[in-house]
Structures are given as structure tokens and as C-alpha cells.
Amino acid sequence: MRNVVIAGASMTRFGKFADRRMKSLVGEAVDDALADAACPPDEVGMVHFGNVLGGLLQNQESSRGQIWLAESALDGAAVVNVENACASGSTALHQAWLSVAAGLFDVAVAVGAEKMFDEERRAGEALFSVVDQERLGPITQELAAEGAQQAIFMGIYARFARDYAARTGATAEDFARVAVKNHAHGARNPKAQYQHTFTVEEVLAARPIAGALTLPMCAPVSDGAAAIVVTTPDRAARWGTEAVSVLGIALGGGRAGANGTVTGAAAQAFAMAGIRPDQVDVVECHDAAAPAELIALEELGLCGPGEGPALVRAGETSLGGRLPVNPSGGLESKGHPLGATGPAQIVELCDQLRGRSGDRQVEGARIALAENAGGYLGPDVASAVVTILART
């Protein structure tokens, strides 16, 4: 397998854009990523395009990437469409990495895009399609106890939060501290959907969503796109690009009744990278709800079992702390346009490793980790991608 680098990375601002079409979002992200890499469009061998709900929300099945690339410089490129729940975009990155690492192409582009906002608010209903439809009734009844009738995944995260609190002693205040931290980070990110700051008291007093979760603890409905240019070190050097090395990347799959999807993917990624968890300098993780960040830190081996709450209480996961987590603002503040979420994590980490994150820069960052998870099989997620990057 060949060494692989990321030569360009870009994303749109995330938000609710009633006046923007998918082609517009995709075109902006793709063209800016190509420009960031100084990559001529005709050198791209393959595009891997991640999207989750386009069939239900835009009534666009089959050739989504081919159609939505029409206003980009990659119109007419060879496309593989990727659908893998909320990990669709990072799975597209995994496939782009694989195509270059295996020597099939010298340049591949991973794109993730989603347009979830509409006036009819159909995204919540569409998300019910992500779980096993033969088990939808029992799953819905099970989650009804969490008080999440219309937001199935917030019910799932409320269940995760309750189980996590029972085994670790984490409190609602700890979950609120995570949200406060991430919104403070997002307030420094011009691409974030929300740029408001909160106090712990304000988070706890906000509108209840499910279980212990209140509105600022939860990822919003979002529109947006992100793109990553993947290539060889030699090609990036020829372009004169400041590239970021892909040290490790692993795709994990779950099964009903079991746990360990994120943990297994992390173990593979660390083994591939040849580093230890304590060598990571900055993290972007899948915090679709605030408790998920604490759970992910433990699943990734970045702290011991039950140690997550102490990290956030001590400010260790904040900018300026020992291990800054979600300097972008995370899904709670930056936004969560499903297919674009994973590539957007990579955009943030590439910026961090290149030293261009402005006043949210993690000083001296050399090794970065992204974790993007998707779907629900019960009690675990259906898929997860863990990516480890390094400054070259």
C-alpha cells in the first residue's frame, strides 16, 4: 500500500439555507478543495460521494453525485456514490484513501453533502428510515421512555446518556459542560451553524429534548457540503501543496445486540498509524449529542473508563487544555449535515495541522484524530470511521 496524503480540504458554512440548492453547496466545497490543493480537475481519477437522505428529502436516488457535481469543476468525473448512515462522508474518504493507497488512482476526491432543512421539517421523519424497519416498532416503544417521540436519534442518545451516567456517575451538569465548551469553540468558527455561547445554567434550563438532553446539547438540522482531495506525497509535492499525512484510517461495522464498533475501528486505525492514543494532540468526534463526546473519548482509548467527566470538569478538552476536543464546535455548534459531517471533521483537522485555524488553533498540533459514527443497531452504532492524520 502506498503512502497517502490530503492535499486540499474545504467546506461550506453549515446552516439552514432555504435559498441554496445541493449543486450550489457541492460546487462551492469541491472547487475550493481543488484550489486548496492546487489540483487540476483533469488529474482526479475518481470521486467518492457521500450522502444519506437525498432519496427521501430531494427525491434524488441513484446518480446523486453525478447530478450534484454538475456545477463543480468535477462535472463529468467518474463517481462512486456512498451511503452509510451518518458515516457516509467519512466512508467516502475511506474509499478515496483506498483507491490511492492501492495504486488504482493517483488522485481521488471524497465529497460529503446533505440538505436537511425544508419548511415542512421532514428530516426528523426521514431519520426513522436509518434503523432496522423490521424492529422499528419495538425500538420506538423502547425510546418513548426517553420522551423523544419525533427525534428518534435524540432518544437513542438519551438512552446512551442514561446508561453512561449509571456506570460512571456522570451528571446532567457534565453533559452541559460539554455543550458549553463546544459552543464556545464554535463561536470562534466562521463556518459553524451556531456561534452562540452558553453557561451551564443556561444549557440546563433550555428546552428539554429527550431524557437529560436539552436543546444546546443536541446537533441541529443542517445543510452543507465538504470535500477532501486525496493523493500521493509525490503528486502533492508537484502541486506545491502543504499536505497532511493519513497515518491510519479504519471502517468498523456493528451488529445488533453487540458493542464495540468505535473501539474496534480505533484499534485498527492506531495499529495502522503505529502510534498510541496518548500521542494524539487534537480530536474531532461525533458529538451528535453532548454525552456522545464523553462516551467516544473512552471508546477511542483517549481516557480510561469513567474518566470522561473528570476531563471536561478540569477543562482538559477545551482549547488550551491537554487534549482539545471538537475545536470546530462539534456537531452541536458547527452543525450536522449528515453526509458532510465526516469530511468536515477532516477539514477542521487539516486546518489545525497546517496551523491555519485562527483563534481556535491548537498550538503545536502534530497528530489529529477524527471519529464519525452512523446508524443504530441497538445497543451500538451501525458503522464508524476513525481517521488519524499527521502534520508532514
Residues annotated as part of the active site? 86, 336
If you write DSSP's letter for every residue of 8-53 in order, what string do you get? EEEEPPPB--TT--HHHHHHHHHHHHHHHHT--GGG--EEEEE-SS
- Fill in the amino acid letter for 259: N
Rg over CA atoms, the chain: 19
Residue 180 to residue 175: CA distance in whole angstroms:
9
Question: In this structure, are residues 65 and 47 in contact, taking their beta carbons and an 8 Å threshold?
Answer: yes
332-360 per-residue burial string, b: 16 or more CB within 10 A, e: under 16: bbbbbbbbbbbbbbbbbbbbbbbeebeeb
Closest to 138 measured CA to CA, from 122, 126, 121, 155: 155
Residue 306 to residue 22: CA distance in whole angstroms:
42
Helix (H) or strand (E) holding 386: strand 383-391
**Which residues on neighbouring strands pair with residue 391, listed in sequence order?**
244
